[in-house]
Amino acid sequence: MTPLKITGLTVYVTRIPVLIKRRHGSGDVEGSVRNAILKLETDAGITGWGDAAPWSVFTGTVEAAAAALHVYLRPILVGADATRIEALMQAADHAVVGHAEAKAAMEMALFDVLGQASGLPVAELLGGRCRDEIPLSFSVADPDFDRDIATVKRLYGEGLRLFKMKTGFAGHKADLERMTRFRREIPADAELRIDYNQGMVAHDAIRRLRDVEAFKPTFIEQPVPGHQRAALAEIARALDTPVLADESVFTPADALEVASRRMADLVSVKIMKHGGMLAGRKIASICEAAGIACYGGDMFETGIAHLAGTHMIAATPNISLGCEFYQATYFLERDLLAEPFPVRNGKVVVPRTPGLGVKVDEDRVRHYAEETLR
Ligand SMILES: [Mg+2]
pLDDT tens, 39-87? 999 999 999 999 999 988 888 899 999 999 999 999 999 999 999 999 9
Mean pLDDT score, 186-191: 98
* Residue 26 scores a pLDDT above 80: no
Q: Which residues participate in catalysis according to the annotation? A: 166, 324
Distance 85 CA to ligand 1 centre (A): 29
How many of the other CB atoms lie within 10 Å of CB of 224?
25
* Residue 21 scores a pLDDT above 90: no
Q: What is the pLDDT of residue 94?
A: 97
End-to-end CA distance of the chain: 28
DSSP conformation letters of 101-114? HHHHHHHHHHHHHH
Mean pLDDT score, 96-110: 98
How many of the other CB atoms lie within 10 Å of CB of 250?
20
How many of the other CB atoms lie within 10 Å of CB of 358?
23
d(CA 258, CA 251): 11
Q: What is the pLDDT of residue 65?
A: 98
Helix, strand, or coil (residue 118): helix
pLDDT tens-place string over residues 301-351: 999 999 999 999 999 999 999 999 999 999 999 999 999 999 999 999 999
Mean pLDDT score, 164-174: 94
d(CA 276, CA 3): 22
Residue 105 Cα distances to 69, 134, 147, 195, 249, angstroms: 9, 22, 33, 26, 20
**Element (DSSP H or E) covering residue 269:** strand 266-269
Distance 140 CA to ligand 1 centre (A): 12
d(CA 114, CA 354): 9
Helix, strand, or coil (residue 231): helix
Averaged pLDDT score across all residues of the chain: 97
Residue 105's pLDDT band (cuts 50, 70, 90): very high
Answer yes or no: are the C-beta atoms of 118 and 268 closer than 8 Å.
Answer: no
d(CA 356, CA 109): 8
Distance 110 CA to ligand 1 centre (A): 27
* Beta-carbon contacts of residue 2 (< 8 Å; ≥ 6 apart): none
Mean pLDDT score, 286-296: 98
Distance 195 CA to ligand 1 centre (A): 6
Q: E strands, 141-179, where? A: 162-166
Q: What is the pLDDT of residue 56?
A: 87
Distance 246 CA to ligand 1 centre (A): 5
Q: Which amino acid is at 337?
A: L
Distance 222 CA to ligand 1 centre (A): 7
pLDDT tens-place string over residues 118-161: 999 999 999 999 999 999 999 999 989 999 999 999 999 999 99
Give the whole-number percent of the chain exceeding pLDDT 70: 100
Q: What is the pLDDT of residue 57?
A: 84
**Element (DSSP H or E) covering residue 22:** strand 22-24
Distance 318 CA to ligand 1 centre (A): 18
Distance 101 CA to ligand 1 centre (A): 16
Domains recognised in the chain with CATH numbers: 6-119+361-373 (3.30.390.10), 125-349 (3.20.20.120)
pTM: 0.97
Mean pLDDT score, 183-193: 98
